[in-house]
Amino acid sequence: MTAVLRRQVWSALTEDQRDALCRRGLNDIFDARLRESICALIDDVRARGDQAVCDALATHDGIRMNPDRLRVTGDEIDAATVDPQTERALREAIDNVRRFNDALLARMSDWSIEIQPGLTAGEKVTPISSAGLFVPSGKASYPSVAYQLGVPAVVAGVPKIVVVVPPLPGGQGEVDPAVLVVCRLLGLRDVFRVNGPAGIAALGFGTETIPQVRKVVGPGSPAVTIAQVEMQRHGLATMMLLGPTESLVIADATARADLLAADLLIEAEHGTDSTVVLVTDSTELIDKVDAHLSVQLADLPPERAAAAHASLGDNGGAVLVDTLDTAVHVANRFAAEHLQVAVDTTRIDDVVEGIVNAGEILVGQHTPFSAANFMIGCPASLPTSGFAHVSSGITVETFMKRTAVARADARALRDLAPSIEALSAHEGFPAHGNAVRRRLS
């Protein structure tokens, strides 16, 4: 039997080797030549608008169309259908994501406190003015991304929501009907068929056909990611980073090896740029999981099996640690997009409590990544490439902003005046102090 898992022993790795495992993918995402080509595309969209977007579709997607076909018409959205079981699944998923985000929104109320007598300060919470949602296509169809992005934006009350989605490969510009069904169910009518990087640029600048927005979110290829990063220079807010996908599982000898293998394959089948890691203190478990992977890979089509081999081989694999405490340390350093805990019930709480860097934590072997990706309701568009150290998944909070509100009466300002004047003098800004003195003189 040929091993599927690349095997590494954490205690035997050098710091450079540990860093290479945890850095995964960043060098590819920010490849200099790819960045140069994306920057040229961005400049082209800025200069030529719709025609540049259409040219990008022809060049990179092999689909030729005129600017008047970029918008998905209302009739197309209304006519889109999927089989009844898929529509039921979409409706259930949308309902679960909405419940999660409704609960989150309820915890985001305005607030105010009295800082000192006569001085109050707090925040008001409001939706952002506009948002662009990028729904990828190409390797697969992703209606789940459409509702994972769309529901939080709708719950937030964003007044202008624009969806961009690449057409189905090999077609004449058709968009996945399941994505259009999601848009119809959410009331999203501004939908455009565009190449990914060109669509990100179009959303940032606005074109003759595609509206300009202030923030864009959505996972994608390195090219899409670079486009989002580069468009920040032009004033477009984006999320860092959403792709390529990755997962990490912490497991001990009590975990079922066949289920571990099945769960490792969930994110591993996405693409050859995915990273999947099993962290365990049991060599025997690694052997068992490897055996099950060899069997279960045969159930996948060749393209998905090839992706899984790369994700579990050169990109990821099994990491043997001495203890579960070390496993938690490795997980926190890796900061996975998706993380599952499959350990003895007596250790679950300790392990979960110790994990502070992860896009999501799925507890137990009845909570596979696929359940969270599609149905649970918690965010599934999550930070990758280690950005779970500093950011979170896409929820209603992504589409809200907080504005500080403060009020001082004359007594409070008089109490603050000596300190204001002292700091204005120290920093060399006399007008700051003068504004206070003129009120109190």
pLDDT mean by block of 10 residues, the chain; 441 residues = 91 95 76 92 98 96 94 97 97 98 96 97 98 86 94 98 94 94 98 96 98 95 91 92 89 98 97 94 98 97 96 96 98 97 97 98 97 96 93 96 97 96 97 95 80
Parts of the chain belonging to CATH 3.40.50.1980: 7-25+244-364, 32-238
pLDDT for res 139: 61
SS3 of 118, please? coil
Question: What is the torsion angle, in degrees rounded to the nearest 10, for the CA atoms of residue 287, residue 289, residue 292 and residue 294?
Answer: -70
Structure tokens at 196: 């990914």
Give dist(CA 253, CA 21) in Å, integer.
23
Angle at 239 between CA 237 and CA 244, to 5 degrees: 140
Of the candidates 138, 157, 156, 134, the one whose C-alpha atom is nearest the C-alpha of residue 146 is: 134
| Nearest-10 Cα torsion for 358, 200, 140, 2 | -50
- The pTM of the full predicted model, rounded to 2 decimals, is 0.93
Residue carrying the six token digits 């080509």: 37
- Give phi and psi for 160, each to the nearest 5: -130, 115
36 is catalytic: no
* Contact predicate 166/72, CB 8 Å: no
Please tell me the distance from the alpha carbon of residue 187 to that of residue 247, in angstroms, as a whole number.
33
What is the rounded distance in angstroms from the CA atom of residue 46 to the CA atom of residue 44? 5
What pLDDT does residue 220 have?
A: 85
Q: What is the CATH number of domain 7-25+244-364?
A: 3.40.50.1980
Instruction: Please give the pLDDT value at position 127.
Output: 98
* Residue 2 burial class via C-beta count within 10 angstroms: exposed 0-12, middle 13-18, buried 19 and up: exposed
For 178, counting Cβ atoms within 10 Å of its Cβ (0-12 exposed, 13-18 middle, 19+ buried), the class is: buried
Report the alpha-carbon angle 276-278-279, nearest 5: 135
Protein fold of 32-238: Rossmann fold (3.40.50)
User: Alpha-carbon distance 111 to 115, whole Å?
Assistant: 13
Question: Do the bridges between strand 119-127 and strand 130-134 make them parallel or antiparallel, or are there none, so unpaired?
Answer: unpaired
Active site annotation includes 337:
yes
Given the residues 230, 269, 337, 360, the one annotated as active site: 337
Catalytic residue among 246, 270, 338, 397: 338
Cβ–Cβ < 8 Å for 334, 277: yes
**What pLDDT score does 137 carry?**
85
Q: d(Cα 204, Cα 238) in Å, to the nearest integer?
A: 10
Q: Which amino acid is at 187?
A: G
